[in-house]
Structure 1
Amino acid sequence: MINANPVPGTSAAVDFVDAPDIRHFLSGLLLFNGVDIRSVGPFLARTHRQDVKAGEVLISPNIRNTRVFVILSGALEVRLESADSPPLTILHPGQCAGEMSIIEEKDPSAWVIAARDCHVMVIEQDILWRMINVSHAFARNLLVILSSRVRSDNQVILDSVGVLREFERHAVTDALTDLHNRHWLDNMFRRRLERCLKDDTPTSMVMVDVDEFKQFNDRFGHIAGDRALRLVAETLRNNFRPGDMVARFGGDEFCILLPGAEVEDALACSERARWAVQNATETDPAAPRITLSAGVAATEAGDTLEVLIARADDALYRAKLGGRNRVAS
């Protein structure tokens, strides 16, 4: 495509910029968009084309880079962690690589590797600076490329933050019921309980259990059991107060912390949830019948989370002994 190193100002450079196909081709590249090719022609004549095989490394971290590679055909991959890591992005014809490390005068921070066989236009560092000095349009295009690179990096960061938040959500969320899980309960219930005790705020806890759930699973199967647990979870969400903290304790047990609630308030919420579950299965003839038992305990001075859970669990045991499908304190 481009002659190898003719001296600027010679007839080779003039012939180069006068070639219509060359001018048309370069005008299609972002870096040369709107650039008067005659103004940079002597320097363009000192660029050259390089054939790159798939898998060939053009740029490596911690190795000084002195070239800009403009992709003429094929594609280049940018990889961050290692040369074998999945590509962060793919560069296509018209895009370039290597400009940031030259502008910053720092070693590259990523690998640039040919995704497949490529042709690239190679611009040496000193030629790049000379074209910047003689052409405002060329300098503007380079700024546009750098700006788009920054925006792309910002989007990668935003996407990474989104993925991280999704991982965090899964780490504290029960996959079946979409309630908070035991890990979240141990952390957040403890912190809220300590704050309530410090502020002398009345607080109650409710332990909920699906009655005879093992027999239910044995009779109707685990798919029906999963549906039952999701129904219970949704019912608890809808029948306790917005500020109450609902979590799946494990298996068919659920735990609710009610900051600011006396025992009577917790009993009323629990009874409302118990009735709602019973009513949901009684009014649907196709639904297997399920019922809840619940135990309620109020905080006492010096309580820990474990002590409060144990007291609510004792109350739940009393509800079971009393015949199930009831609330006890």
Structure 2
Amino acid sequence: MEFLPFDDEAMTALFLDKITREDMERIRLFRYVSLDSIMGLLEACSIRTLQEGEILLQPSRSNTDLFLILSGKVRIHLESMDSDPLTILGVGESIGEMSVLDGKLTSAFAVADEICQLLVMDEDILWSLVHSSHAAACNLLAILTCRLRNTDRVLTKSNHLDEVYQLYGTVDALTGIHNRHWIDDALDRLCRRCDVGEIPLTVFMIDIDHFKLFNDHYGHLCGDRILHSVARILADHVRPSEPLGRYGGDEFLIVVPHVDESEADWIGQRLCQSIREAPSISVEGRDLPHPTISVGLATKKAGQTTRELLDAADQALYRAKNKGRDQFSR
């Protein structure tokens, strides 16, 4: 790091090999604040380095420090570490001010998105800064105002999503698994998360072989029994972390993160086998022809959109059908 000259020897001693005046001036809390006038307070602060993925704060914990980002980025998650980040904070922004000021427990996860360097200011130093600098007090008020507006925006968005989910529902009434609206949303979230974390993700597009002919010959009641049976078998062969949904008609979609291509191929083969070897289905004492499925696999590529990923899985599904059905294909 190239160091800029300092006017004050004490400040130079404090930040030598740690931080420059330019770094300090990028912090929102210090905007229009004379750094020389608060030198004594800055000397009492410390520097903390976070490694990528390291947790700085987590919900329901006490916190007495304000963290100011000197370099790197920090993700904020509300519900869990697996949820989409509420926001990503960068250089100059602050973390932990709400819990310091109101004395209540923290309400979110703060996690290093990359290697970060933080200036750590405890609550006594913060209150001393507010009392000694009108500009810093105004900056803190502006920061809190932004936080409150962001909270209102999140609540508004959450309420809107609740209304949408109530309108569309999330569970398919016939099969008991999730519907297309839910699985589309789950796929979007997982794609974003896998892009950020560079995690492999594979989509399985599944279709019941010759289902239209079966429906026309045996009727919709028997067709519904086949749909329900296939859905339950698929549900028994996926983990909770692998979203499954009815995508429409006799199509199903499974999203599987954290597996490489060879593992995904094994899953595709296992799904076909599970349907093929399932017990016979009967309606009113009459055994129905045993269903089979075709499966199209597509593993997400860098920069590939959700729509492009689904199209790739759909094309793979047609290849499986063209090769004779009752099998998987890429």
TM-score, normalization: structure 2? 0.47
